[in-house]
Amino acid sequence: MAYENCPPVSVSRTIGAPAEKLFGILTHPASHPLIDGSGMLREATSAAVLSGVGDVFTMTMHNDEMGDYEMFNYVVQYEPDRQIGWEPALKASSREEDQEGIGDRAEHRWSFDLVPVDAGSTLVTETYDCSRAPDWLRRAVRGGERWRESMTLTLEKLDALSRS
């Protein structure tokens, strides 16, 4: 199946926490494995807090197809308490066939939009956008649909973490 037209895939959830609290969780890469619905994130390699566009954070990851690998994540969207997004690029891989792609930003993006509903709750939308990604990546993630279930779980975990 071809994915020439690949609109972003989004999942939303109203979470009973203020946007500032949720944004704080999202700007700490060390929190990302705690909210990851895919089960692929292992740990952030730095405790640094994200502070703006241009920041880069690294995550160690694992999946059955690629084994162990690391991703650079380039922050490309940052509006305090409202929006954060990053574009990943392979940093290191245990598979020989992935070596030539190291460092390439495949122009896919993860983002979170936070819209206050009232003083104590926020509409959170997670979006995966592979519309500018190479065809091989769009096919691999089925136009982003591969991530819909894990994005739903991510928002459930973000909700639970915000309450703890």
Distance CA 68, CA 40 (A): 9
Pairwise pLDDT comparison (136 vs 45), residue with the higher score: 45
Report pTM. 0.90
Residue 100: predicted pLDDT: 63
Percentage of the chain lying above the pLDDT 70 cut: 89
What letter does residue 105 receive in the DSSP assignment?
B
Whether 49 is covered by a domain: the verdict is yes
32-55 tens-digit pLDDT: 999 999 998 899 988 889 999 999
Nearest to 36 by CA among 107, 130, 112: 112
Whether 81 is covered by a domain: the verdict is yes
Give the Cβ contact number of residue 1 at 10 Å.
6
Helix (H, G, I), strand (E, B) or coil at 32: helix
Residue 8: predicted pLDDT: 93
Residue 117: predicted pLDDT: 97
Residue 94: predicted pLDDT: 60
Residue 101: predicted pLDDT: 61
Q: How far is residue 56 from each of residues 27, 59, 76, 119, measured CA to CA in Å? A: 11, 10, 9, 31
CATH code at position 60: 3.30.530.20
Whether 3 is covered by a domain: the verdict is no
Whether 111 is covered by a domain: the verdict is yes
Residue 4: predicted pLDDT: 67
97-125 tens-digit pLDDT: 655 665 566 788 999 999 999 999 999 99
Residue 103: predicted pLDDT: 58
Q: Which tokens belong to 27?
A: 């700007």
Percentage of the chain lying above the pLDDT 90 cut: 59
Residue 13: predicted pLDDT: 98
Whether 2 is covered by a domain: the verdict is no
- Domains in the chain, number: 1
Whether 30 is covered by a domain: the verdict is yes
* Structural domain range at position 148: 9-163
Distance CA 26, CA 24 (A): 5
Distance CA 14, CA 125 (A): 9
Average pLDDT, the chain: 88
Which band of pLDDT confidence, cut at 50, 70 and 90, is reported for residue 149? very high
Whether 124 is covered by a domain: the verdict is yes
Whether 67 is covered by a domain: the verdict is yes
Q: Is 86 exposed, middle or buried (0-12, 13-18, 19+ CB in 10 A)?
A: buried
